[in-house]
Structure 1
Amino acid sequence: MKTAVHKSEIPPSQIFVIRHLHDRHFDPVWHAHSEYQLFVVLEGTGTRFVGDSIKAFKPGELVFTGPHLPHLWRSDEAYFAKKSELRINGIVIYFNEHFLGEHIMEKEEMLALKNLFTRALRGLEFHGRSREQIIAMMKELTAMKGIKSVIHLLRILEYMAATKEYAYISAKAYSDVQTQSETTRMNLVYDYVLKNFRRKILLEEIAGLLHMTPTSFSRYFTMQNSKPFSRFVSEIRIKHACKLLTETDEPVSHICYESGFNTLSNFNRQFKEFMLKRPMDYKKEFMSI
């Protein structure tokens, strides 16, 4: 997806910013910024959007994103309920590429770090022992100040640059700075779909939100997202089904309708198209792991 709010930069007085997040839900706005971001979910569940990738998230997820790569960790609807007692918890670190100096990244000692930054333009998700080690180091960093904190951040980056326990998230990197008006439009679409994907969403109703004709909206959405709106909705539904398959004991027939599909045959067909396996095979494989 191309449109995203660009948030404020790191204050000129600081080399980097680290925040320990405690709130009712994560920021519900699709956005991007010019800084690199290292983010770990410690508590909370929902749907993650990074570049052109859609995936359910849960505690323990560790993601490193580069500049201008749009992203959103959308908490489940239960977190937005007025009387909800659910809470989220996470740690996020922001820094820019030249936080050590304008030309230092061109030095040969920085080659591994430079390669890490290049990979991060597509977003990286860490796993295995590396993920656990990086999370532990991030927790330590929250209690540090001064030069000790900068040295510790470099240790984290050095560890990330050396590990092979990661996977790319987005199929492509993003470099365009986005406009507020385009971001507002796409956030309306995101919010509406995430609240209504369990039922049939008519093209006319979603186009009406943006004051467009259905034909104009279809063309606009495909241009902005490199995928048709119908496929986007199907991805949301399939990712929700994946979550239910791995976190509940509900039968496939129930998960089918709970995820917004009208027939079991259509659900099975689309699930295999997106996940390359049948729903029960996906569940069995997950449980074996």
Structure 2
Amino acid sequence: MPNNVMHEITPLTPNDCFTIFNRVKTKFDFPLHYHDEYELNLLINASGAKRVVGGNIETIGDVDLVLIGPNLYHAWFDHDCTSTEIIEVTIQFHRDLFDEKFLSRNQMNFVKSMLDKSLRGITFTPEVINTVKDRLLELDKKNGFLSVLELLTILHHLSVAPDTRTLSEWSFSSDRLNSNSRRVQKVFDYLNSNYTRPVTLAEVSRIANMPEASFSRFIKRRTGKTFIDSLNEIRLGHASRLLIDSTATVAEIAYKCGFNNISNFNRIFKRKKSCNPKVFRETYTDNRVFV
């Protein structure tokens, strides 16, 4: 993964099914990035914008819909787009929202195949986009179970759509850095349950049943990140959610999410998300819906 690609820490928590970000904007200003979740992204009135997905670079038309798998880097840039009313709907959902057993059922074959292909990025034809765009635009108005059912229905519709196209080569997906190892999952479950307090390498190594030095090498090899980076990213994910979803001060959120001082929190937040917590909160307020 190139050093100038940002790892986005999305505000999704383990208890969320998905999040919807629905807005009208005048330009594209989010840098090239990747994240651990699937993303379905709809653009309307964006003709002339440049779309980057892995190793694929294209100029898009008036409507654009792509499904991007976990850890595949992507971004949109203004390029030749002159629209001042770009409509964007971004849906992000956990990679385990539909687990392997569920996806292995006969009725889910098409969805499973589509999710597998999304590791390279998938784009849909304008004809297909026109059949689902209104449903995507209205999805944030549904609640609870009905919204999850609607998302699954939309994904099924897309999975059987004709003339879909994969965008990037396999070599551009960094999903190979992630592991389904039970040991890694056990560690991350523990960190998600204990991120609000100081967590030491020694205690996490005991959870993994490994010596500290061996565990440090293990988690770096399996995830591409150090133990401290992994813990901070979990804390940042929860902090991002609180910045959007609460009126608590930045300092209150920092301490609640396990950071020992506000300066350290601000420094790490800006390094990881390319903006400070205040700007992040202003950007997302009133635009994002969690289900």
> Please, what TM-score do these two structures have when normalized by structure 1?
0.54
C-alpha deviation, 1:64, in angstroms: 0.9
* Matching residue of 2:30: 28
Cα distance in 1 for residues equivalent to 2:148 and 2:129: 20
From 59, 63, 67, the equivalent of 2:62 is 59
* Matching residue of 1:286: none
Report Cα offsets for 1:127-175 as digits up to 9, x if no partner.
Answer: 0432211212212213211111111001101101111221111132502
Cα distance in 1 for residues equivalent to 2:99 and 2:50: 36
Q: Which runs of 5+ in 2 are unaligned?
A: 178-223, 226-291
Cα distance in 1 for residues equivalent to 2:26 and 2:66: 21
From 151, 154, 157, the equivalent of 2:155 is 157
Output the aligned Cα RMSD.
2.5
From 70, 73, 79, the equivalent of 1:70 is 73
Runs of at least 4 residues of structure 1 off by over 3 A? Answer: 76-79, 100-103, 106-109, 176-179
From 85, 89, 104, the equivalent of 2:102 is 104
C-alpha deviation, 1:101, in angstroms: 4.6
Q: Secondary structure at 2:70's aligned position in 1?
A: coil
Residue 9 of structure 2 aligns to which amino acid in structure 1? S
* Matching residue of 2:90: 92
From 17, 32, 42, the equivalent of 1:40 is 42
From 127, 130, 154, the equivalent of 1:129 is 127
Residue 17 of structure 2 aligns to which amino acid in structure 1? I
Q: Secondary structure at 1:61's aligned position in 2?
A: strand
Cα distance in 2 for residues equivalent to 1:8 and 1:51: 18
Cα distance in 1 for residues equivalent to 2:169 and 2:72: 11
Cα distance in 2 for residues equivalent to 1:133 and 1:165: 14
Q: 1:129 to 1:12 in 2, by over 3 A?
A: same
Cα distance in 2 for residues equivalent to 1:64 and 1:109: 20
Residue 149 of structure 2 aligns to which amino acid in structure 1? I
Cα distance in 2 for residues equivalent to 1:150 and 1:144: 9
Q: Which runs of 5+ in 1 are unaligned?
A: 80-84, 180-289
Cα distance in 1 for residues equivalent to 2:60 and 2:77: 9
Cα distance in 2 for residues equivalent to 1:155 and 1:77: 34
Report Cα offsets for 1:231-278 as digits up to 9, x if no partner.
Answer: xxxxxxxxxxxxxxxxxxxxxxxxxxxxxxxxxxxxxxxxxxxxxxxx
Cα distance in 2 for residues equivalent to 1:117 and 1:76: 29
Q: 1:117 to 1:127 in 2, by over 3 A?
A: same
Report the number of matched residues.
174
- Does the CA-based 8 Å contact 2:36-2:95 persist in structure 1? no
* Matching residue of 1:148: 146
Q: Secondary structure at 2:129's aligned position in 1?
A: helix
* Matching residue of 1:6: 7
Q: Secondary structure at 2:149's aligned position in 1?
A: helix
C-alpha deviation, 1:113, in angstroms: 1.4
Report Cα offsets for 1:31-90 as digits up to 9, x if no partner.
Answer: 0011111111113342111110111124211111111110010123887xxxxx934321
Q: 1:142 to 1:106 in 2, by over 3 A?
A: same
* Matching residue of 1:18: 20
Q: Secondary structure at 1:37's aligned position in 2?
A: strand
C-alpha deviation, 1:115, in angstroms: 0.7
Cα distance in 2 for residues equivalent to 1:125 and 1:7: 22
Q: Secondary structure at 1:138's aligned position in 2?
A: helix
Cα distance in 2 for residues equivalent to 1:150 and 1:36: 15
- 1:194-209 aligned at under 5 Å gives the runs none
Cα distance in 1 for residues equivalent to 2:26 and 2:50: 15
